Amino acid sequence: MIYPHGDIEEIGTDAFMVRGSIKMNRLMRITRNMAIIREGTELSLINPIKLNVKTEAKLTSMGEVKNIIRLGAFHGVDDLYYMEKFEAQFWSQPGGKIYREPPIDIEIGIGGLTPLQDSEFFEFRGTEEPECALLLKRDRGILFTCDAIQHYGDYSYNNWLAKILMPRIGFPKSTIIGPYWLKLMTPEGSSLESEFKRLLELDFDKLLSGHGTFITHGARGAVKKALENAFPVIEPQ
């Protein structure tokens, strides 16, 4: 199904995004983002979303859809569409329980392989479901995430009810560690704080997550603050 979305926007050197949406239930529609990375004549789609005819035609005019990249286990509803239409390679971590199709062509993490020359994957360890991020080493570093880290500069592409509820259910206009993601992904009695500290060892200045808005600069500092808010230091009594 095609949900409301915008046009293809440039966010870096041969890096683009489409801001879109998805219906979570009968009443709420929230944001959803896709990234497009061009390398020569080939395109790699990160967190794919299905586009209307006009925008898909613009996408295909940019190059050949070569790689489909799933960063998070909770995203995947449109992956099969792109695989069947464009016969692209599907990159994903194994072990996801929600979306079991399409079959994985290249497992993320095997041999350090990446779909782009100037990129590297970051894999979260110890999560209940697989999740990773992709660092594009262009333009001072662009980090692509799925649900783990999100940023909301505004609430566009949310419907009216979602706009009202977002700040009340843990999604303020800020950079955040996804609260529901954190709850679902953290094993009982464990913590994922160290994984976010490890992610902060990466060098990046921009951020595009699977939801929300694009951070044009200062993303690493914003993520550091989000980490401090999600895992506050508890002073001894």
- The mean pLDDT of 201-213, rounded to a whole number, is 97
The secondary structure of residue 72, as a DSSP letter, is B
Sign for the CA dihedral angle at 51, 52, 53, 57 comes to negative
pLDDT value, residue 111: 81
Q: How many domains does the chain have?
A: 1
What is the domain range of residue 65? 8-230
Residue 222 within any structural domain of the chain: yes
Residue 237 pLDDT > 80: no
Residue 2 within any structural domain of the chain: no
Residue 145 within any structural domain of the chain: yes
Structure confidence by residue, pLDDT tens digits, 139-153: 999 999 999 999 999
Per-residue pLDDT band at 115 (split at 50, 70, 90): very high
Residue 137 within any structural domain of the chain: yes
Count of alpha carbons within 13 angstroms of residue 22, beta-carbon side? 18
Residue 117 within any structural domain of the chain: yes
- The set of residues, in sequence order, having a beta carbon less than 8 Å from that of 119 and lying 6+ positions away, is 37, 134, 135, 136, 137
Q: Identify the CATH number of the domain in which residue 19 sits.
A: 3.60.15.10
CA distances from 117 to 15, 37, 40, 63 (A): 14, 11, 11, 17
The residues facing 17 across adjacent strands are 9, 35
- Say if residue 184 is exposed, middle or buried (CB neighbours under 10 Å; 0-12, 13-18, 19+): middle
- Tell me how far the alpha carbon of residue 115 is from its chain's centroid: 16
Structure confidence by residue, pLDDT tens digits, 56-77: 999 999 999 999 999 999 999 9
